[in-house]
Amino acid sequence: MTATDLRDPRHSPPWGVFVTGTDTGVGKTLTSACLVRAWGAAYWKPVQTGRALEPGDTATVADLAAVSPDRLLAPRHTFQAPLSPQAAAALEGVGITLEDFRLPTTGHPMVVEGAGGVLVPLSDTTLMIDLMARLALPVVVVARTDLGTINHTLLTLSALRTRHLRIAGVVLNGPANPDNRAAIEHFGGVPVLADLPRLPRVDSAAVTCLAKERIPALLSVLP
């Protein structure tokens, strides 16, 4: 797959990537911050849940990527409960529809972060993968490195393929596991574009370092 393949002429600009993961808490926000830092991108989390318990991923990316406020787009939906978007929205009497979402035009590449994984419900009739198909950006899949990741990653790739979404590749987050890495590339038919090590501290210095050292391979396949 070439950089030209990954750039969708219907979105030129805006262009960018959709960062999804095999699960919640797998490192999507860390990966997004590294991408924003390395690429000078703008960041958008279309649906943020769990605001009752934490400041949200947009604030985390602002801290980690040291990004100017004009490159941070507000979520389209923010919910208090740490539940799936569908359940959190229902508690607040809100129904999410796909028409709520339009990829913002910022003049910068966009890093869009999902909530949870690809089959997380947004409503009774829609899943996160439907939003991904609507936005039509190439997808970066963030996965753990440890036991169980082959199955979770291959299932995620398989779901993306059923919707004909373009897959830029996989980012592996955690202690190096060469066997799992090789299996994901072999059975998944996609490259592992970056390996993020376990960090002693997750802060902007660490993100700057990862953005310099680990992300260029990922950026090389993007427009």
Ligand X SMILES: Nc1ncnc2c1ncn2[C@@H]1O[C@H](COP(=O)(O)OP(=O)(O)OP(=O)(O)O)[C@@H](O)[C@H]1O
Residues 56-115 that bind Mg ion (CB under 5 A): 57
Which of ligand X, Mg ion, none sits in contact with 177, Cβ below 5 to 8 A by type? none
Q: SS3 of 127, please?
A: strand
CB of 57: closest distance to ligand X in angstroms? 5
CB of 79: closest distance to Mg ion in angstroms? 14
Is residue 45 part of the annotated active site? The answer reads yes
CB of 72: closest distance to ligand X in angstroms? 15
Q: Which of 28, 45, 77, 214 is catalytic?
A: 45
Q: Which is nearer to ligand X, 43 or 223 (CB)?
A: 43
The CA–CA distances, whole Å, from 217 to 64, 81, 87, 182, 187 equal 20, 36, 37, 17, 21
CB of 165: closest distance to Mg ion in angstroms? 19
Q: 15 and 138 in contact (C-beta within 8 Å)?
A: no
**Distance, CA of 78 to CA of 96 (rounded, Å):** 11
CA angle 68–167–129, rounded 5-degree value: 80
Q: Is 28 in the site for Mg ion (CB under 5 A)?
A: yes
**Distance, CA of 218 to CA of 223 (rounded, Å):** 11
Q: 154 and 188 in contact (C-beta within 8 Å)?
A: yes
Which of Mg ion, ligand X, none sits in contact with 42, Cβ below 5 to 8 A by type? none
Contacts to ligand X by CB under 6 A: 21, 24-30, 57, 116, 173, 196, 198-199, 202
Catalytic residues: 45
The residue ranges that bind Mg ion (CB under 5 A) are: 28-29, 57
